[in-house]
Chain A
Amino acid sequence: MPEFTGWLLDLFDDPREGLVLYFIDEKGAHHRLTRPFPVTFYALGSDAQLRALWRQLSNRPDEITLCRTHRMDVFKRQDVTVLGVTVKNPYQAGKIFHETAAQFPELEYADADLNISLRFAAETGAFPLCRCQVWSDEVGQLTHIKVLEDAWLLKATPIPLRTMSLAPDVAPHHAKPRYLIVEVAGEEYHLDLHTWRPLLINLRALIQRHDPDLLLTDWGDTWLLPKLMAQSEKYHIPLGLNREIGRGVSWHEERTYFSYGQIIFRGQQIHLFGRCHIDRQNAVLWNDYELDGTIEVSRVTALPLQTAARVSPGTGISSIEMLTALREGILVPWQKQQAEMLKPAADLFTADQGGLVYQPKIGVHKNVAEIDFVSLYPAIMVYFNISPETILPDPNGENLVPALGLAIDNSQDGLIPKALRPLLEKRIEMKKHLASTPNWDPFRKNFKRRASALKWLLVTCFGYLGYKNARFGRIEAHQAVTAYGREALLRAKEAAEDMGFEVIQLYVDGLWVHHPQKTRPEDIQPLLLEIQERTGLPISLDGIYRWVVFVGSRQNKKRAVANRYFGVFQDGSIKVRGIDTRRHDSTPFVSEAQMHLLELLASKDQPEDALPEAVDYLRARLRALRSGHVSLPDLLVRQRLGRKLEAYRTPSPAARAVMQLQAAGKEMRPGQRVPFIYTLGKPGVFAWDRPQAPNPHAVDVARYQRLLLRAAGIVLESWGMDEEKLTERVLSDASQLRLPVPPKQHPRKHRSNIPGVVHPAMDRALKGQIH
Chain B
Amino acid sequence: MNKQIISFPVPKTGKISLVVAPKTVIHSLMSMLAVLALRGRVIVVDGGNCFDAYSLARALRRRTHQIQPALKAVQLSRAFTCYQMVAMLSELPVDGTPVIVLDLLSTFLDENVNFSKRQRLLESSLNLLRQISEGAPVAAWARAHPAAEGEYQQLLMPLLETAHDIWELQAPEIPDHQLPLF
Direct contact of A and B (CB under 8 A): yes
Q: List chain A positions with a Cβ less than 8 A from chain B.
A: 105-106, 335-346, 348-349, 468-469, 475
- Does A344 contact B71, Cβ atoms closer than 8 Å? yes
- Does A340 contact B117, Cβ atoms closer than 8 Å? no
- Does A339 contact B84, Cβ atoms closer than 8 Å? yes
- Does A345 contact B87, Cβ atoms closer than 8 Å? no
Chain A positions within 8 Å of B79 at CB level: 339-340
Given contacts A105-B117, A343-B77, A344-B76, contact A338 B51 (CB under 8 A): no
Nearest neighbor of A333 in chain B, beta-carbon distance: B83
Tell me how far the C-beta of A272 lies from the nearest C-beta in chain B, rounded to whole angstroms. 29
Q: How far is the CA of A348 from the CA of B80 in the complex (A)?
A: 16
Chain A positions within 8 Å of B76 at CB level: 340, 342-345, 348
In the complex, which of the residues A106, A337, A339, A346 contacts B77, with contact meaning CB atoms closer than 8 Å? A339
Nearest neighbor of B120 in chain A, beta-carbon distance: A105
- Does A339 contact B75, Cβ atoms closer than 8 Å? no
Chain A positions within 8 Å of B162 at CB level: none
Chain B positions within 8 Å of A468 at CB level: 80-81, 84
- Does B88 contact A339, Cβ atoms closer than 8 Å? yes
- Does B87 contact A338, Cβ atoms closer than 8 Å? yes
Tell me how far the C-beta of B39 lies from the nearest C-beta in chain A, rounded to whole angstroms. 15
- Does A340 contact B75, Cβ atoms closer than 8 Å? no
Q: How far is the CA of A419 from the CA of B80 in the complex (A)?
A: 25
Given contacts A344-B76, A346-B68, contact A469 B51 (CB under 8 A): no
Q: How far is the CA of A338 from the CA of B112 in the complex (A)?
A: 18
- Does A344 contact B75, Cβ atoms closer than 8 Å? yes
Chain B CB within 10 A, most for which of A106, A336, A337, A345: A345
Chain B positions within 8 Å of A342 at CB level: 43, 75-77, 92
In the complex, which of the residues B74, B75, B84 contacts A338, with contact meaning CB atoms closer than 8 Å? B84
A-B contact pairs, 22 of them (CB 8 A): A105-B117, A335-B83, A336-B81, A337-B87, A339-B77, A342-B75, A343-B75, A343-B76, A343-B77, A344-B72, A344-B74, A344-B76, A345-B56, A345-B71, A345-B76, A346-B68, A346-B74, A348-B53, A468-B80, A468-B81, A475-B78, A475-B80
Q: How far is the CA of A341 from the CA of B77 in the complex (A)?
A: 6
Q: How far is the CA of A342 from the CA of B99 in the complex (A)?
A: 12
In the complex, which of the residues B71, B73, B87 contacts A339, with contact meaning CB atoms closer than 8 Å? B87
Chain A positions within 8 Å of B86 at CB level: 337
Chain A positions within 8 Å of B112 at CB level: 469
Given contacts A345-B53, A345-B76, contact A340 B81 (CB under 8 A): no
Chain A positions within 8 Å of B84 at CB level: 336-340, 468
Q: How far is the CA of A341 from the CA of B76 in the complex (A)?
A: 8
In the complex, which of the residues B77, B81, B85, B88 contacts A469, with contact meaning CB atoms closer than 8 Å? B81
Q: How far is the CA of A341 from the CA of B91 in the complex (A)?
A: 10
Tell me how far the C-beta of A611 lies from the nearest C-beta in chain B, rounded to whole angstroms. 45
Chain B positions within 8 Å of A105 at CB level: 117, 120
Chain B positions within 8 Å of A335 at CB level: 81, 83
Q: List chain B positions with a Cβ less than 8 A from chain A.
A: 43-44, 51, 53, 56, 68, 71-81, 83-88, 91-92, 112, 117, 120
Chain A positions within 8 Å of B71 at CB level: 344-346
Chain A CB within 10 A, most for which of B56, B86, B88, B120: B88
Chain A positions within 8 Å of B117 at CB level: 105
Chain A positions within 8 Å of B81 at CB level: 335-336, 468-469
Chain B CB within 10 A, most for which of A335, A336, A340: A340
Main secondary structure of the interface of A (DSSP, over half): loop
Chain B positions within 8 Å of A346 at CB level: 68, 71-72, 74
Q: How far is the CA of A340 from the CA of B44 in the complex (A)?
A: 12
Chain B positions within 8 Å of A349 at CB level: 53
Chain A positions within 8 Å of B68 at CB level: 346
Q: How far is the CA of A344 from the CA of B42 in the complex (A)?
A: 10
Q: How far is the CA of A469 from the CA of B87 in the complex (A)?
A: 14
- Does A340 contact B83, Cβ atoms closer than 8 Å? no
11 more contacts with CB within 8 A, not counting A339-B85, A345-B71, A345-B72, are A339-B79, A339-B91, A340-B79, A342-B75, A344-B71, A344-B76, A345-B51, A346-B71, A468-B80, A468-B81, A475-B78
Q: How far is the CA of A342 from the CA of B89 in the complex (A)?
A: 11
Nearest neighbor of B88 in chain A, beta-carbon distance: A339
- Does B53 contact A337, Cβ atoms closer than 8 Å? no
Tell me how far the C-beta of B125 lies from the nearest C-beta in chain A, rounded to whole angstroms. 12
Q: How far is the CA of A105 from the CA of B86 in the complex (A)?
A: 14
Tell me how far the C-beta of B77 lies from the nearest C-beta in chain A, rounded to whole angstroms. 4
Tell me how far the C-beta of B153 lies from the nearest C-beta in chain A, rounded to whole angstroms. 23
Q: How far is the CA of A344 from the CA of B73 in the complex (A)?
A: 6
Chain B positions within 8 Å of A339 at CB level: 77-79, 84-85, 87-88, 91
Chain A positions within 8 Å of B73 at CB level: 344
Q: How far is the CA of A662 from the CA of B80 in the complex (A)?
A: 37
Q: How far is the CA of A581 from the CA of B120 in the complex (A)?
A: 52
Q: How far is the CA of A337 from the CA of B87 in the complex (A)?
A: 6
Chain B positions within 8 Å of A337 at CB level: 83-84, 86-87
Q: How far is the CA of A349 from the CA of B54 in the complex (A)?
A: 9
Q: How far is the CA of A344 from the CA of B43 in the complex (A)?
A: 9
Tell me how far the C-beta of B62 lies from the nearest C-beta in chain A, rounded to whole angstroms. 17
Given contacts A345-B56, A348-B53, contact A340 B74 (CB under 8 A): no
Q: How far is the CA of A770 from the CA of B102 in the complex (A)?
A: 22
Tell me how far the C-beta of A727 lies from the nearest C-beta in chain B, rounded to whole angstroms. 35
Tell me how far the C-beta of A136 lies from the nearest C-beta in chain B, rounded to whole angstroms. 42
Q: How far is the CA of A523 from the CA of B111 in the complex (A)?
A: 57
Tell me how far the C-beta of A115 lies from the nearest C-beta in chain B, rounded to whole angstroms. 19
- Does A348 contact B83, Cβ atoms closer than 8 Å? no
Chain A CB within 10 A, most for which of B53, B68, B76, B112: B76
Q: How far is the CA of A345 from the CA of B67 in the complex (A)?
A: 11
Q: How far is the CA of A343 from the CA of B71 in the complex (A)?
A: 10
Q: How far is the CA of A342 from the CA of B53 in the complex (A)?
A: 15
Chain B positions within 8 Å of A340 at CB level: 76-79, 84, 88
Chain B positions within 8 Å of A469 at CB level: 81, 112
Tell me how far the C-beta of A435 lies from the nearest C-beta in chain B, rounded to whole angstroms. 41
Nearest neighbor of A344 in chain B, beta-carbon distance: B72
Q: How far is the CA of A490 from the CA of B139 in the complex (A)?
A: 42
Complex A-B, nearest 5 residue pairs according to Cβ-Cβ distance, in ascending order:
A346-B71, A339-B88, A468-B80, A345-B74, A339-B84
Q: How far is the CA of A341 from the CA of B80 in the complex (A)?
A: 13
Tell me how far the C-beta of A349 lies from the nearest C-beta in chain B, rounded to whole angstroms. 6
Tell me how far the C-beta of A394 lies from the nearest C-beta in chain B, rounded to whole angstroms. 16
Q: How far is the CA of A105 from the CA of B119 in the complex (A)?
A: 12
Tell me how far the C-beta of A350 lies from the nearest C-beta in chain B, rounded to whole angstroms. 11
Nearest neighbor of A106 in chain B, beta-carbon distance: B120
